Structure 1
Amino acid sequence: MGYLPPPTGKWQLVCLTLTNSVSLAHFGYDQGIFAGALISPDFIATFPETKDPAVSGITSSCFSLGAFFGCLASFLLGDRLGRKKAIYAGLTMNVVGVVLQVAGYHLPQMIVGRLLNGFGMGVISSTCPVFVAEASPSHIRGKLVVLGSLCNTVGFCVANWMNYAFFDDNGPFQWRFPLAFQLVFSAIVAVILPVTVESPRWLLMQGRLHEAQVVLARLRGTEHDLDDTKLNDELRSIQKALQDEQEARVSIGDTLLGRDSLRNLHRLVLSCGTQLMQQFSAVNALSYYLPTLLIESVGVSSAYARLLAGANASLYLGAAFICLVLIDRVGRRRLMMYGSVGTGSCYLVAAITLREADLHPEQKAGLGKATVAMFFLYYFCYGTSFAKVPWVYNSEINSLGWRVRGAAAATATNWMSGFVIVQFTKVGVDNLGWAFYLLFAGFCWSYLPIVFLFYPETSHRTLEDMDEIFKRCGSLLVFRDTALTQRSRPQALVEAEQRRIREASAGTPV
C-alpha cells in the first residue's frame, strides 16, 4: 500500500476507527469462541483435565489474567512507546498466542497460548480507545469509541454463530479452526495500522509541536492549510491544557495520595469503577459459559444451547447498535443508571425461575424458557448500557498525562475482574445453583446510587474540559451540580476553552 497517498480527513478517522473496531472485534470473538471449545468432544478428549470445573475455569480465565498483565505493561510503557507502537507490540503477542493455541495438544501449551493472546489483547484494548478518543472531534468522539466497542459485540456474535455452525463436527476442526480464525482480525489491523497517524495529543506531550500540527491537520482535512484558524485554535487549546497540566504535575506518590490539583487519583478511581461495574454485572460469566449454563441449569440439548447462544448474540448486537445511537443523545450517566436497574432485575427474575424449577420439576420446561428470556433481556439491557459506556468513559475522564495510564488501569481492572468472575462462575453455579444469580442482582442494583452520586457527565465535553471539571469541583459528590450532570456542554467550559486559546495566542503562537 506504499504507493497510495495517505488518507486524510474523514478517511483518516475511518482508518483509526477500523483499527480500534477490528481489534475490539477480536476481543469479543475470543470471549464467544472459547465457550464452544469448552464443550467440544475433541477438545475435552485432547485436554481431559478440563472436565474438572476448576481447571476449566482457569483455562478460560487465564486469557483475562494475561490481559491484566498486558494492561500493566501499557500503564508503564504506553506513553513511552506511543499509541501505534503499543498496538504493534500487542498485535505480535496476539499472533504468537493464537498459534500456540491452535497447535496445542497439551494443556500447559494451551494455557500459555491463552496467556500470551490475553497479554496482547490487554495492551491493545487499553490503547485503542484512547487512540481514537485523542484523535476524534468531541461531537463524534463517543460514537466512534462506542463503534469500536460495538464491533466487540460483532466479534462475539460471529463467534457464537460459528460455534453453532460446527456443532455436528466432533473432530479437531470443530475448535481448532474457530481459534485460528482470530488471525484474520490481526491481519486486518496489520494492513490498516501503517497508514494511520500517531495521536496528536501524544505528539504534543513529547514536545513534537510541528508534527502534532501536521497530524491534526490531516485528521481535520486541512493538511493543505496549516494556518487554518479552527485548526490552530484547537491546537492552542490542547497545548495550553497540556502546559497547565505539566505545571500542576506532582510525583506519582503525591498523585496517589490525592495531592494534585488535577485530582488524577479521583479520576483514576472513577474510570476503574466503570470497568469494575461492567465485569461484576457478570457478562463474562454468561459469555464464556452460556451454552454450559443452558445445558446444566436450564436443561436444553447441546445443539439447542449453541443455537440459543447465537440468537442471544444477535440480540446483543442489536442492542449495541441502539447504544451507538443513544450514547451522545442520552449521556453516559443515564445509560449507566438505566443499565443498573435493568440488569439487576433480570438476574433477580432468573434466580426466581430457577428456584421454582428446582421446587417444581414438572414445570421445568416452562420455567426454563422464562430463564432463557431473562438471559436474553439481560443482554439487551447490558448491551445498551454497561457494554459500551465504560470504554468511552475511561478514555475521556483522565488527564492527558494520565490518559493511557488511566485507561490501562481501568482495563486492567476489567480483565482482573473478568478473571475472577470466569474462574468462579462454574464452581458457584455448581454449589449455589439459583442463589448464585442473586449475588449479581445485588451487585447490579448497587451501581445506581454510585453513578448518581459520584459520576460526572462526560458527553459533549472536550478532553481538555475534563481538567476544568475537576479543578472546579472540590467534592466527590456531583449530583447537586447541574453543570456536572447535564448532558449538554456547560457554558462555563466553553468560556474556559476560549480563555485557553487567548492565553496560548498571547504566549507562543502555533
Structure 2
Amino acid sequence: MNPFTPQMHYYLIEQKLTTAVYKLSNMFSLTGKPLLYFTSVFVSLGVFLFGYDQGVMSGIITGFYFKEYFHEPTRAEIGTMVSILEVGAFVSSLMVGRIGDIIGRRKTIMYGAFIFIIGGAFQTFAVSMSEMILGRVVAGFGVGMLSTIVPVYQSEISPPHNRGKLACIEFTGNIVGYASSVWVDYFCSFINSNMSWRIPLFLQCAMGALLFGGSFLIAETPRWLLDNDHDEEGLVVLANLHGGGDIDSPLAKQEYREIKQSVLIHRLEGERSYTDMWKKYKKRVLIAMSSQMFAQLNGINVISYYAPLVFEEAGWVGRSAILMTGINGIVYVCSTIPPWYLVDKWGRRPILLSGAVIMAISLASVAFWMRLDFAHTPALVVISVVIFNAAFGYSWGPIPWLYPPEIMPLTIRAKGASLSTATNWAFNWLVGYMTPILQETIKWRLYLMHAAFCSLSFVLVYFTYPETSGINLEDMDSLFGDKSVVNTPDSRSLLGDRDTPEPDVPHSYTDAATDRLPAGMQGYGSAPSSRGGSVVGSPRRGNSVVGSPKRDFPQPPV
C-alpha cells in the first residue's frame, strides 16, 4: 500500500522545484537594494499582464480580420467581450483576500499567473465569440488575483522611505504592458490573416508563463511569514532585503521586532472577517474603496479600452487610429516615471489633487473639440487625450494601488486590498461596458460626465485623505488614531501630545507577548505554523537563526 497521498507527491515536487530554483538564485547573490528592486520589477509582471490584457483588445476590435472572423460584432457585443474580463477579476479579487492570507502572497501570484495563461490560451485559439468571452472570463480570474496580491506583496517588502517609489515602479509595469499591447496590435495589423489578432493574444500567454516560472524564485513577504509564525524565515528575508544579508543587522532586527509586536497586538483583537474589518477600520476601508472607484470613474478606461474608437470618432481612420493610440501609449509610459521621485518627497495628496484638476480640464477639452467638430478637431482631441493620460499616469494611476495596502493593518491587509480591488473591477466593468453605448447615444457629453467625476475626486481627497508618505506600515494605526499602536519612534511623533492610548510595548516583543497574552499563551510566537510552507530564498541558517538561544526572541511553548 502506497503511504503517499497525491497531496504529498505534489508537496515533494514543489519542494524539489523550489530547492532547484533557489540554488539557481544563489548564483546572483542579490541582497539589499539590488534584491529589493529586482523583486519589485519582477512582480510588476503581474500588473504588466493586467495592462497588456487591458490594451490588447483596443487595437484588435478595429481590425478587419477580427471583425470578419466574428461576423461584424455590434457595439454591444464588443462591450460585453471587452468588459467581461472585469467580471472574472471582480469575483477572484474578492476571493483572494482569504486565499492570500492562507497560502501566502507568493503562491497566490503563482496560481494567478497559471490561471491567466489558461485564459489567454482560450482567447488565442477561439473559434467563436462565446469561446473568446470564456477566455476573457478565465483570464479575468487570473488578473483579479494578480492585481490584488501584487500591491500587497510590494507594500510588505518595501521600506517606508521608498515604498511609494516601488509601488509607482509597479504601476509603470502596468502601463508598459498597455503600451506594448497597442504597438503589438499596430505591427500585427500589417499581417493579412487571422494571425493579425491571434499573435497579440498569444503573447500574453508567454508573459504569463514567465511570471509563473519566476514565482518559484521570489521570496515570501516577511510580514506574512511573521504573521504565520515562520519567524526565522521572516528574519532571514528581512535581513536579505534590508540588512545586506546579515541576520544580525540592527535594522533588520528592529523591523523584525516592530512587525512582530504589531502581529501580537492585532492578534489579541480577535477575528479577521470582512465584517470585523468594516467595524474597526471603516474610514480606511472607505478611503481604499473610493480611491479605486474614482480611478475608474475619472475616465481612464474610456481611453484605455476604446482609444482607437475615440480617435476614429475624432476623425482618424483605421490603422491611423491605432498609431495615434500607440503614440499616446508612449507618453502614458513616460508620465508614470516622475512619481518615482515625487511620491515619497512631495506626498500622495498633492499628486492626486493636481492630477484631478488636469484630468478634468483635459476631458472637458475633448468634449469641447468634438462638439465644435471643425478641421482641427482630430489633432486637438489627440493632444487633449495625451495630456489626460499623462495626468492620470502620474496621479490617479499609481496612487490608488498604493493607498489600500499601506493603510490597512497586517492582519486584514489582503482582505482590505481585495475589497478595494473588487471596487476597481466593478467600476472598471461598468465603464468598459457602458462606454461604447454612451459613445453612440450621448457622444461628446460622455467626456463632460467623466470631467465632473474628476472634480468630485478632488473634493474627496482634499477633505478626507491623510498623507501617508514616509510612515511605517506598523504606524498607520497612529495616523488614523486607532487604539492598537506599536510603540515606535515614528508612532510617537505621529501621536504628539494627543490623548490617543499608547500601549507600553517593551523593546523585546517577547516581553510584550508575556505582558499581553493570557496565561497558557505566553511565549507564543516562534513555533512553526501549519498554515504555510517553505519560502524561496529563506533557508534556516543553523540551529538558531540568531545564533544563540539566549536572544530575546520567543521560544515555542513547552
Is the pair's TM-score, using the shorter chain for normalization, greater than 0.5?
yes
Residue of structure 1 equivalent to 2:266: 245
Q: Deviations over 1:48-92 (max 9, x none)?
A: 262x11111010001111111120120232201100111111111
Contact in 2 for aligned 1:346/1:375 (Cα 8 Å): yes
Distance 2:331 2:396 in 1: 15
Residue of structure 1 equivalent to 2:288: 271
Contact in 2 for aligned 1:241/1:500 (Cα 8 Å): no
Task: Give the drift of 1:499.
Answer: 6.3
Match of 1:287 among 304, 319, 335: 304
Q: Deviations over 1:177-235 (max 9, x none)?
A: 01101123213213322121111111111122222112212222444x43332221111
Task: Give the drift of 1:37.
Answer: 1.1
One-letter identity of the residue aligned with 1:248 = E
Task: Give the drift of 1:381.
Answer: 0.9
Contact in 2 for aligned 1:350/1:437 (Cα 8 Å): yes
Residue of structure 2 equivalent to 1:347: 363
Task: Give the drift of 1:281.
Answer: 1.0
Whether 1:41 and 2:64 are equivalent positions in the alignment is yes
Whether 1:124 and 2:126 are equivalent positions in the alignment is no
Whether 1:312 and 2:328 are equivalent positions in the alignment is yes
Contact in 2 for aligned 1:91/1:186 (Cα 8 Å): yes
Residue of structure 1 equivalent to 2:219: 197
Compared with structure 1, are the counterparts of its residues 251 and 143 closer, same or farther at alpha carbon in structure 2 (3 Å cutoff)? closer
Compared with structure 1, are the counterparts of its residues 433 and 201 closer, same or farther at alpha carbon in structure 2 (3 Å cutoff)? same
Task: Give the drift of 1:494.
Answer: 9.6
Whether 1:30 and 2:53 are equivalent positions in the alignment is yes
Task: Give the drift of 1:253.
Answer: 6.8
Whether 1:17 and 2:17 are equivalent positions in the alignment is no
Residue of structure 1 equivalent to 2:527: none
One-letter identity of the residue aligned with 2:367 = A
Compared with structure 1, are the counterparts of its residues 169 and 222 closer, same or farther at alpha carbon in structure 2 (3 Å cutoff)? closer
Residue of structure 2 equivalent to 1:370: 380
CA RMSD of aligned residues (A): 2.3
Contact in 1 for aligned 2:483/2:502 (Cα 8 Å): no
Match of 1:381 among 356, 376, 391: 391
Distance 1:97 1:453 in 2: 42
Residue of structure 2 equivalent to 1:491: 493
- Percent identity, aligned pairs only, is 30
Compared with structure 1, are the counterparts of its residues 229 and 119 closer, same or farther at alpha carbon in structure 2 (3 Å cutoff)? same
Contact in 2 for aligned 1:239/1:504 (Cα 8 Å): yes
One-letter identity of the residue aligned with 1:312 = N
Compared with structure 1, are the counterparts of its residues 453 and 501 closer, same or farther at alpha carbon in structure 2 (3 Å cutoff)? farther
Contact in 1 for aligned 2:182/2:322 (Cα 8 Å): yes
Give the greater-gyration-radius structure (CA): 2
One-letter identity of the residue aligned with 1:460 = G
Contact in 2 for aligned 1:66/1:117 (Cα 8 Å): yes
Contact in 1 for aligned 2:188/2:199 (Cα 8 Å): no
Contact in 2 for aligned 1:275/1:410 (Cα 8 Å): yes
Residues 438-457 of structure 1 correspond to what in structure 2 (within 5 A)?
438-457=448-467
Residue of structure 2 equivalent to 1:107: 129
Match of 1:174 among 192, 196, 201: 196
One-letter identity of the residue aligned with 1:20 = V
Distance 1:489 1:379 in 2: 37
Distance 1:373 1:281 in 2: 18
Compared with structure 1, are the counterparts of its residues 241 and 177 closer, same or farther at alpha carbon in structure 2 (3 Å cutoff)? same
What TM-score, normalized to structure 2? Answer: 0.82
Task: Give the drift of 1:335.
Answer: 0.7
What TM-score, normalized to structure 1? Answer: 0.90
Contact in 2 for aligned 1:340/1:445 (Cα 8 Å): yes
Task: Give the drift of 1:470.
Answer: 2.0
Residues 380-399 of structure 1 correspond to what in structure 2 (within 5 A)?
380-399=390-409
Q: Deviations over 1:91-111 (max 9, x none)?
A: 111110011110001111111
**Range 444-453 or range 169-178, more displaced:** 169-178
- Give the SS at the match of 2:126: coil
Match of 2:210 among 151, 163, 188: 188
Residue of structure 1 equivalent to 2:469: 459
One-letter identity of the residue aligned with 2:259 = I
Q: Which runs of 5 or more residues in structure 1 are unaligned?
A: 358-363, 475-487
- Give the SS at the match of 1:168: coil
- Give the SS at the match of 2:293: helix
Distance 2:231 2:272 in 1: 25
Whether 1:417 and 2:417 are equivalent positions in the alignment is no
One-letter identity of the residue aligned with 2:175 = T
Q: How many residue pairs align between the two structures?
A: 484
- Give the SS at the match of 2:77: helix
Q: Which runs of 5 or more residues in structure 2 are unaligned?
A: 1-20, 485-489, 514-551, 554-558
Residues 85-104 of structure 1 correspond to what in structure 2 (within 5 A)?
85-104=107-126
Residue of structure 1 equivalent to 2:444: 434
Contact in 2 for aligned 1:298/1:371 (Cα 8 Å): yes
Residue of structure 2 equivalent to 1:153: 175
Distance 2:121 2:81 in 1: 16
Match of 1:65 among 87, 110, 123: 87
Contact in 1 for aligned 2:479/2:494 (Cα 8 Å): no
- Give the SS at the match of 2:215: helix
Distance 1:58 1:448 in 2: 31
- Give the SS at the match of 2:306: helix
Residue of structure 2 equivalent to 1:236: 257
Residue of structure 2 equivalent to 1:483: none
Residue of structure 2 equivalent to 1:144: 166
Residue of structure 2 equivalent to 1:485: none
Greater fraction helix: 1
Residue of structure 1 equivalent to 2:14: none
One-letter identity of the residue aligned with 1:234 = E
One-letter identity of the residue aligned with 1:40 = G
One-letter identity of the residue aligned with 1:189 = L
Compared with structure 1, are the counterparts of its residues 314 and 121 closer, same or farther at alpha carbon in structure 2 (3 Å cutoff)? same
Whether 1:4 and 2:24 are equivalent positions in the alignment is yes
